[in-house]
A and B are shown apart, each in its own frame.
Chain A
Amino acid sequence: MICEDSLEGIFTGIYDAYLKRKPHAQVHLCVGQEDNYRLFAVYEQCSPKEEKAVKVARTIGRELGEEAYMAICRALASPEPDKGEAVYKMVVAGLSMKNKKGVMGNLKDPFIRRVFELARFTANEAHYHVEFLRFKELENGILYAQMGPKNNVITFIVPHFADRLPLENFVIHDILREIYALHPAGKDWYLVTGDGKEKPGQALVYSQEEQKYGELFTHFFHTIAIKERGNYGLQRNMLPLRYRKYMTEFQ
């Protein structure tokens, strides 16, 4: 089965896989195009259907519990090609267990473990962005932040900032996927997908204050370190290099 790379697409894929009524070991789910074709396999395209996806989501939530559902959502935010297969087989394994709600504890099962790993990576990266995301104030007072995460974490981090900065207008921009999260002051936030044609980077004009506070923080960042304890290795472990290009204090 080949399905679309989205929550809806993969849930539809799981629904259709169950419809086949074949042993689950013989059905595989892959996301987008598979680059290495399997021998003796029949490939079937499946297009996302909302009602099918909703049914699968409801079943997962009811049978496997909130914990497993969140883990699946996180795992599906990953860019790895085997995520669809892992989630599908995990649902199969979970539904056959006696204690269905405890499915995430069964790390002996390779598929459940894979989902656990993918979900952990997404959760960790989401947390990194909660830590390291940097807003810059534009001329019109809007806070604007850029990021380039490996996993599609934007939906996991915006609620945090919406709760934190309720009275601010802010935009979080995933520059790899061209997704914008917009939060108007005092209202709910929403997502917008850009068409990738405009290059907003050139049009951005920062406010007068922005440079001042950026410099103040960079200065603070340097004076707060104790020279005698210098430890760049530890710094690199805690703050991976790939996040630094978006961070004020490293620019």
Chain B
Amino acid sequence: MAFELQDTKMSVADTKISLADTKISLIENKMSLMEKLGILSDAAKYDVSCSSSGVGRKGDGTGIGNTLKAGICHSFGADGRCISLLKILFTNECIYDCKYCINRRSNDVPRASFTPDEICELTIQFYRRNYIEGLFLSSGILYSPDYTMELIYEAVYKLRTVYRFQGYVHVKAIPGAAPELVHRLGLLADRMSVNLELPTAEGLRSLAPNKHRKNILTPMRQIQQGITQNKNEITLYRHAPSFVPAGQSTQMIVGATPESDYQIMMVAENLYRKFDLKRVYYSAFVSVNEDKDLPALPGGPPLLREHRLYQADWLLRFYGFEAQELLSQEKPNFNVLLDPKADWALRHLEQFPVEINRADYRTILRVPGIGVKSAQRIVRARRSGSLNFDDLKKIGVTLKRALYFITCGGRMMYPTKMEEDYITRNLIGEKEKLPFDRDGMTYQQLSLFDDNQEPMWRQAINS
């Protein structure tokens, strides 16, 4: 143990020397903190993960900070995304040239780097004022993966020891960095993530020529094994230092390469099962670079597709579904007009209607319009008396979707035909609540030749 600690200190000292070198090489080294924060948060915003969940830890009274198991969002940006962590890059200089990325080597954008002290000071001062829940630190690759990882390590090490920060820290593991570095950083961080970037190896090869699938999966596997091993240690020695206690996550870009939803879901399912990931994030491709290998997206980022993937992701994680049930080789993409759960239910009408007062929890969970909370409340409430439709409504079930699939006391709410076409028509008639485009802020010119809607309908009919 003592030996390890010494080792750590040595390498921190090493980093300092090399940091001094960096400063000389930077041209714009007299930038104000405001400018730096602007550049480096702007460069970090395409990273999706901003959650601060997964670990509950009380403060020990000697420093600053604690964490909540459920996580806390501290604000919501103009795009409606949660702002929970101070999401910044250490530097946006990068030796790689990934075609989708704003910070790629060949782009002419202003470059900046923080110093570890600036990062610590910002984190602590923001945290005291309850602006943020902790730090999310990623980085462009400066010189080499190892070198970059050392920089990140130094900042986090300082934050944890000198500033005694006990809040949430999420760091990126840089693919290709030495396993030893990943391990040391994991002992300081709450969550680590390695970005898968693109769902398949082919996609990665075409758009990120410097990155390799194997290099991404290696640290992911290492973190997974570290977490399992650490859990065993903690059961033995209660005060063993915890390694990535909030688990690891990853993200992939959707819509930059031609993968189908089915492929993406299979990848996600494998990541959950084989790598024990806490979360897989899907990021609708935002076109920031002009490149012949990138798709043109005249309608903006594929938000609906991203939304459907998240819906399906929830079905995998909380509703006991499998990717194979939702999609298949023959039907590789999600229905545009229906959410994946309703879509599944319509293809399995033989399993419905379900009797609310008798069906088991897992069956109730599969009914469209009933979520995890409603299902739990139903199971609990029916112990003290049978439930009717009015009770269900008050419990929080969305009856306008659920009514085609359930009975209460052997009766359906209205006489309903159990026909796929009939129910589909009714479900589509009820406008689905989507988290975008219905805010009254976005307008679309009505047109006789409304060519946006046509392919959507055609796709829906085919699928």
Q: A residues within 8 Å of B by Cβ?
A: 97, 99, 102, 105-108, 113, 130-137, 143, 145, 160-161, 163-168, 186, 209, 213-217, 219-239, 247-249
Contacts and interface: CB of A to CB of B under 8 A. Distances in A.
B41 A224 contact: yes
B383 A105 contact: yes
Nearest to A164: B66
B34 A229 contact: no
Contact of B436 (A130, A160, A164, A234): A234
A164 B79 contact: no
Contacts of A166: 59, 61-64
Interface in B84-105: 86-87
B384 A229 contact: no
A229 B79 contact: yes
B74 A248 contact: no
B46 interface: yes
Given A165-B64, A232-B78, A102 B129 contact: no
Interface in B123-149: 125-126, 128-131
- Name which of A136, A227, A229 has the most chain B CB atoms within 10 A of its CB: A229
B45 interface: yes
B2 interface: no
A6 to B, nearest CB: 29
Interface residues of B, number: 62
Given A216-B34, A229-B79, A238-B73, A224 B130 contact: no
Contacts of A135: 128-130
A132 B75 contact: yes
Interface of B: 33-34, 37-38, 41-42, 44-46, 58-59, 61-66, 68, 72-83, 86-87, 122, 125-126, 128-131, 167, 284, 286-287, 300-301, 303, 377, 380-381, 383-385, 387, 391, 394-395, 435-436, 438-441
9 contacts: A107-B381, A167-B64, A216-B122, A223-B45, A226-B46, A229-B79, A229-B286, A233-B80, A238-B76
Give chain B's interface secondary structure class: loop
Describe A's contact surface by its main secondary structure.
Answer: helix
A219 B37 contact: yes
A219 B38 contact: yes
A114 to B, nearest CB: 10
Contacts of A107: 377, 380-381, 391, 394-395
A216 B37 contact: yes
A230 B442 CA distance: 10
A167 B61 CA distance: 7
Given A107-B391, A231-B80, A248 B440 contact: no
Contact of B441 (A209, A222, A232): A232
A105 B391 CA distance: 13
Nearest to B63: A167
A223 B383 contact: no
A167 B163 CA distance: 12
B5 to A, nearest CB: 26
A220 B72 contact: no
